[in-house]
Chains A and B, each alone.
Chain A
Amino acid sequence: MAYDKFEVLTSTAYPLPTENVDTDQIIPARFLKATKRVDFDVNFFRDWRYNSDGTPKAEFPLNKEVYAGSKILVGGRNFGSGSSREHAAWSVYDFGLRCVISSEFADIFKNNCLNVGVLPVQVSALFADTLFAAIMADPKTEIKVDLPNQKVTLVATGESESFVINTYKKHNMLNGFDDIDYLKNIEKEITDFAKTRPF
C-alpha cells in the first residue's frame, strides 16, 4: 500500500490565500537532490517558511502555532502550477497534510497528489472565500472532507459544497490503491497493444 486510505477527514486548516502558488515555492529545486523520499517535509515551502538565516518567518501560516497539526491546507486559485516535480506532492503528504482545497489546481500537481494519497478538493471561488473567512475569524474552525459522499463542509455553520472526483480515483483513494496495481493486472492487454505500435 503506497499511502494510507482516505475516507472522512475532519480537521482545522492552514490558510494560504496567495494565488498561483507554484511547485518551486512548495519545494525549491535545490532540495531535489535526494535519491530517496526523505526530508521533503523539512523543506516544504522552505523559502516562505524560513528566512535565509534559517529562522522561521512568524507570519507565515504554516509556522503559526494556532494551526499546528492541521491536516488540510486551503490554498489560493491555481495551486501547484509550474514544475511537474512530484516532490511537491510528497512534501504536502510528508508534512502531515492529506487534503488541499482550492478553487483551481494545476493539472500535473493534481495528478501527483492523487497518486500519492493527497486529496485535491476543487471548490467554487465563493466557497473558497467562505472557508478563508471562517478560518480568519476562528483559526480553530474545522472543515470536514467526506470522500465517500464527495462533500466538503464547514463544520461550525454546516455550509457545504460537493466536489468532483472520478469513480476510479475515488476507489483508489478510499482503498489506498495506486495505478500500478491496476496496470499490472492488465499487462497482457498492454503487451498486445504495444505490438501494434509502428515505432
Chain B
Amino acid sequence: MANTLFDKVWDSHVVRQINDGPDVFFIDRHFIHEVTSPVAFLGLESRGNSVVYPARTFATADHNTPTINQHLPVADPLSANQLDALENNAAKHGISHWGLGDENNGIVHVVGPENGITLPGATIVCGDSHTSTHGAFGAIAFGIGTSEVEMVLSTQCIMQPKPKKMRINVNGKLGLGVTSKDVALYIIAKQTTSGATGYFVEYAGDVFEDMSMEGRMTVCNLSIEMGARGGMIAPDSKTYEYLKGRSQTPKGADWDKAMKYWDTLYTEEGAAFDEEFNYEASDIDPMITYGTNPGMGMGITKSIPTAESIEGGVATYRKSLGYMSFNEGDAMIGKEIDFVFLGSCTNGRIEDFRAFCSIVEGRQKADNVTAWLVPGSHKVVDQINAEGLDKIITDAGFVLREPGCSACLAMNDDKIPSGKLSVSTSNRNFEGRQGPGSRTLLASPLVAAASAVEGVVTDPRTILNANA
C-alpha cells in the first residue's frame, strides 16, 4: 500500500500500540523553555524520577525575556525567577541551556533549525503549540502540555493518539508581494480556525517546493492556527542545503547515512489522505486579519464580511468585531495604526528582515507608529548586521531590539496598550494577546513594513510597484 510521509515518520516512532488507546510515541528531540517546563521538573522530582536522555532535550529562554538591556539583570522578579528555574533545572539534569546572552539563544523554533537540532524524519515536541514549525524539515513536530513535558523528561515518550491525515496542495506561482505568510493566512481563512482539528497536515505542490526553508517554517508554524496538531513538508535538496554543516547535524559518514534515510521521506503516488484540499497560488493576495482568531483573514483589498455571509455563530462574530471596534463592510486599507511588530517564531528569521527592509529602504517610519523589530535569535541579528540591514533599519527611523518572543504573547514588557491597533507578523490575534485590550492585525513582513512607513494599513504592492 502506498504510504504517506506522515505515516512513515509516525509509524517508525511507535514503541507500543495500546488497544483502544493512544500510541506510546518515542520523541527524538525535546525543546524546553522557561514557561512550560518548571512544573514538569517539580513533578519529575516529586516522583523521584530522573531525566532519562538529557542529550535529547534542549533548553532555551525566550518567552519571558526582555528585548532590551539583556546584559543587565532581569528587572521583573517573577520573570527572573522563571529564567533561573530553567537554568538550574537544566544544570541539575545535564541538559544543554542557552540562556539570555548566550550566542545560541533565541526563540526555540528559530534556534532549533539554526543549530541543526531539527532533522527530517525526527519526532520533535516542546511545550509550545508552534512546535509545528519544525515540520518544514519533514519532521513530525507538535506542541504538548506540561504533563507531557514531564513524560518526555522521565521516559522520552508521550501517549498520543495518531491524528488523521490531511494534504493541502497549492500549485502555481505566487504574485508580487505575496509571501509564505500570506499563503498560510489564506489557507487558514479557507479552513477556519478549527477546520483542521484532529488532523496532521502535509503541504504539497509547486508553491511549497519553490519556497525557501524560512518560508516553509512560516507555513508549518501556522498549522496550529487552523486547529491542526502540526504540518509537514517532504525534505528535498533545499532542506539538505540548509542543514548541512550546522553545529548539531550528523557529519561525515553519518550525514551520508542520514541522507539515504531522508530520501525515503516522501508521500508515495496514490497514498490516501482522510482529507485533501487544492488551492491556486494566483488566488492569493497579501492577507490581513480583521477579527480575533487567525481564521478571520482576507485579501488586504477586501472589506470585512457581513455576519450573515460567514459560517458559524453570528453572536461570536459580532463579539469579535466589537472587540476590534470594526464594522461589517469596513475596508482595512487606510485604517490608522499605532504599532508594528516584526518578529516571533512565525516571522522572526533573516528572510523576514530582508523583506521588511526591501520596503522601508529609503523611506521613513511614520510618526504615529511605534515599531518593535525583534529578531528571532542572535544568529539572525548577526546576519542582519552582516548584510547591512541594520543600517537600512536605522536610517529609516527604526530600532532593532534583542531576540525573544516579545510582543507575540506579551509576557514581558513588550505589551501593546489597551485599544491600540497593531500590525503584527506574529501568529495570534486573540483578544488581549499582545497586551490587555490590544487589537492585532496579523500580516506578512511586507504588509507590516508598508503600514509602518505609511502609518495606515497599506497594500505593499503599491510600494513594490513604485520601486520597480
Contact = CB atoms under 8 A, between A and B. Distances in A.
Interface of A: 17-20, 22, 24-25, 28-30, 32-37, 47, 52, 76-78, 81-87, 89, 104-108, 111-112, 115-116, 166-169, 178-180, 182-184, 186-187, 189-191, 193-194, 197-199
A187 B82 CA distance: 31
A195 B409 CA distance: 39
Contacts of B285: none
Given A28-B432, A182-B159, A186-B16, A81 B146 contact: no
A107 B197 contact: yes
A111 B313 CA distance: 26
A22 B293 contact: yes
Nearest to A22: B430
Task: Name the residue in A17, A18, A32, A178 with the highest tally of chain B Cβ atoms < 10 Å from its Cβ.
Answer: A32
Contact of B147 (A32, A106, A178, A182): A178
21 contacts: A18-B319, A20-B193, A22-B428, A24-B432, A30-B410, A33-B64, A47-B431, A78-B227, A82-B428, A85-B35, A86-B146, A106-B194, A111-B148, A116-B147, A168-B21, A169-B22, A180-B150, A182-B159, A183-B155, A183-B159, A198-B257
Contacts of B16: 186, 189
A195 B201 CA distance: 29
B390 interface: no
Interface of B: 15-16, 18-22, 24, 26, 28, 35-36, 38-39, 42-43, 47, 49, 52-53, 63-64, 76, 78-79, 81-82, 85, 119, 122, 127-129, 143-148, 150-151, 154-161, 163, 193-194, 197-198, 224, 227, 229, 250, 257-258, 261, 293, 312-313, 315-316, 319, 409-411, 418, 428, 430-433, 436-437
Contacts of A182: 159
Most buried by A among B15, B16, B78: B15
Given A81-B194, A86-B127, A107-B227, 10 more contacts: A18-B319, A20-B193, A20-B316, A24-B409, A33-B35, A37-B39, A52-B437, A108-B145, A111-B144, A190-B157
- Which of B128, B148, B229 has most A Cβ within 10 Å? B148
A107 B200 CA distance: 11
A105 B157 CA distance: 24
A190 B316 contact: no
A112 B129 CA distance: 12
B428 A78 contact: no
Contacts of A86: 36, 39, 127, 145-147
A94 to B, nearest CB: 12
Contacts of A29: 409-411, 433
Contacts of A115: 145, 147-148
A180 B49 CA distance: 10
A81 B293 contact: yes
Contacts of A47: 431-432, 436
A194 B122 CA distance: 13
Given A107-B198, A115-B147, A198-B258, A78 B22 contact: no
Top 8 nearest A-B pairs (CB, nearest first) are A168-B21, A86-B145, A84-B143, A35-B38, A115-B147, A112-B145, A78-B194, A33-B78
A56 B315 CA distance: 22
A52 B418 contact: yes
A167 B49 contact: no
A104 B312 CA distance: 13
A35 B85 contact: yes
Given A33-B64, A86-B145, A112-B147, A24 B430 contact: yes
